[in-house]
Amino acid sequence: MNKILVLYILAFTLFLGACTSTLTQSTLLTTEPTTTSASSVDTTFTSSTTASPTTWTTSTSFTTTNTTTSFTTANTTTSLLPTTTTRLCKATNYDYDINALNYELVWFDEFNSLTATQPSIIKWRYQTGGGGWGNEELQFYTDPSINSNHTNAQVGNGFLTITAKKETIGTNLYTSARMNSNASWLYGRIDVRAKLPQGAGTWPAIWMMPQHSAYGSWPNSGEIDIMEHVGTNMNRVHFSIHSQAYNHKIGTQKTYVTTVPNVSTEFHLYSVEWLPDQIRFFVDNVLYWTYRPTNFVSCPTEEQWPFDRPFYLILNVAIGGWGGTPYANFVQETMTIDYVRVYQSPVITAIS
Ligand SMILES: [Ca+2]
């Protein structure tokens, strides 16, 4: 083969290589969603109202699936542990019909005992201790399963009660309970029907934390706040997510607040629908807020979307901190929970 032919082949090969890389690059760029600036979205959120919330369209099936038949299919979490796919951009390019998802009950606690008993230690564990919890909280969290004198968490009359009490342990002037589910889930709908404590000082929460800190310590591996309420501002319910990019430490957390009437005298259903690209927050099956990271960045990473790993559920009543100074003559305040139900969709499980 003569030298000129060799040079031609070499040049043509290099040209092809250049074309291929250019094509790959431009294809990737064109598939990315349009960038929306964070500031404009923030403005939308802070000025938005709940005038026309969207109703959870398949709520009927949720209220009718509570049968013993479906309960016997309760899952083992091992079958739900993810094989997380590495994506160029997280929370993008998932293809599913949000209005056609079938949800199956995979975990629940109905707290059905009529006589006073302890919460199931198979389903729940206690996080104990005092010292403020990094938020200047005043309570000491007890473990009723190892000391039955502590009744901060109890089941009876068909309900779980988490009661904060004026009761001294060490330097802590109040006691309470913080219960974590032993199971964790990746994606799904989590329903908690609850009646909240009232009055200054109380800070009940229904929220989720990562089973493993895959992306580092708080807030990098994420936090999902299904419901927070502080007794200094009754009937204002907060939904939030925290991540490395968005968290209250740097004042960037993504939050939505709405008014829910009679939170401490009536039960309400607090829910999230956690999907591979968004988290939707509901009260009484009405959608109030959606966190979708692509509203803020075109190509989310774990900094905006660490929510692709299993999370567990936490139920607690804190005293002090964001809840403020407890009101005078505080004796005790209770969060009453009728049930916790966790549903997952086979369609979502299959694509994740
Ligand atoms: Ca119940």
Would you state the pLDDT for residue 86? 64
- Catalytic residue flag (residue 32): no
Confidence bin at 88 (pLDDT 50/70/90) = confident
Task: Using a CB cutoff of 5 Å, list residues around ligand 1, an ion.
Answer: 110-111, 158, 338-339
Percentage of the chain beyond pLDDT 90 is 74
251 sits in the region (left: phi over 0; alpha: psi -120 to 50; else beta) called left
Using a pLDDT cut of 70, give the percent of the chain over it.
76
Q: Report how far ligand 1's centroid is from the alpha carbon of 42 (Å).
A: 38
**Which pLDDT score, from 0 to 100, does residue 305 have?**
98
Angle formed at CA 80 by CA 75 and CA 84, multiple of 5 degrees:
175
> How far is Cα 318 from Cα 135, in angstroms, rounded to an integer?
10
Integer Cα distance of 341 and 263 in angstroms: 20
Query: What pLDDT, on a 0 to 100 scale, did the predictor assign at position 76?
Result: 34
**Catalytic option among 228, 273, 302, 333:** 228
Question: 113 C-alpha to center of ligand 1: Å?
Answer: 8
Question: How far is the centre of ligand 1, averaged over its atoms, from the C-alpha of 49 (Å)?
Answer: 33
Is 199:324 a contact under the CB 8 Å cutoff? no
Give residue 352's pLDDT: 78
Q: What is the pLDDT of residue 105?
A: 98
- Does the structure show a pLDDT above 50 at 40? no
> Is residue 104 flagged as an active site residue?
no
> How close is the Cα of 125 to the center of ligand 1, in Å?
19
Mean pLDDT of 231-246: 98
In the set 137, 167, 223, 333, the catalytic residue is: 223
CA of 186 to the centre of ligand 1 (A): 25
If you average pLDDT over residues 329-345, what whole number do you get? 98
In the predicted model, what is the mean pLDDT of residues 205-228? 98
Classified by CATH at the fold level, domain 36-351 comes out as Jelly Rolls (2.60.120)
pLDDT of residue 84: 52
* DSSP result, 25-50: HHHHHHHSPPP--HHHHHHHHHH---
Q: For position 49, what pLDDT does the model report?
A: 31
Mean pLDDT computed over 134-139: 94
The beta strands (E) that lie in the chain are given as 54-55, 104-109, 124-126, 139-141, 153-156, 159-169, 172-176, 178-185, 188-195, 202-210, 223-228, 236-242, 254-259, 268-275, 278-283, 286-291, 311-319, 332-344
Closest by CA position to 177, among listed 333, 321, 303, 306: 333
Whether the per-residue pLDDT at 55 is higher than 50: the answer is no
41-50 mean pLDDT: 28
User: What pLDDT sits at residue 26?
Assistant: 27
- The predicted model gives 250-260 an average pLDDT of 97
Q: Taking all residues of the chain, what is their mean pLDDT, rounded to a whole number?
A: 82
Q: Across residues 179-185, what is the average pLDDT?
A: 98
Mean pLDDT within 314-335: 98
The Cα-based distances of 289 to 101, 202, 283 in angstroms read 19, 24, 10
Q: Which of 19-28, 165-174, 184-193 has the lowest mean pLDDT?
A: 19-28
Each residue's pLDDT tens digit, 101-126: 999 999 999 999 999 999 999 999 99
CA of 159 to the centre of ligand 1 (A): 5
Q: Is pLDDT of 29 > 60?
A: no
With 0-12 CB in 10 A as exposed, 13-18 as middle and 19+ as buried, what is 113?
A: middle
Q: How far apart are CA 151 and CA 17, in angstroms?
A: 71
What ranges do the domains of the chain cover? 1-31, 36-351
Mean of pLDDT values over 49-70: 34
H or E segment and range at residue 3: helix 3-31
The answer, yes or no, to whether residue 317 has pLDDT greater than 50, is yes
Give backbone dihedrals phi and psi of 122, rounded to 5 degrees, phi first.
-75, -35
The DSSP symbol for 326 reads: P
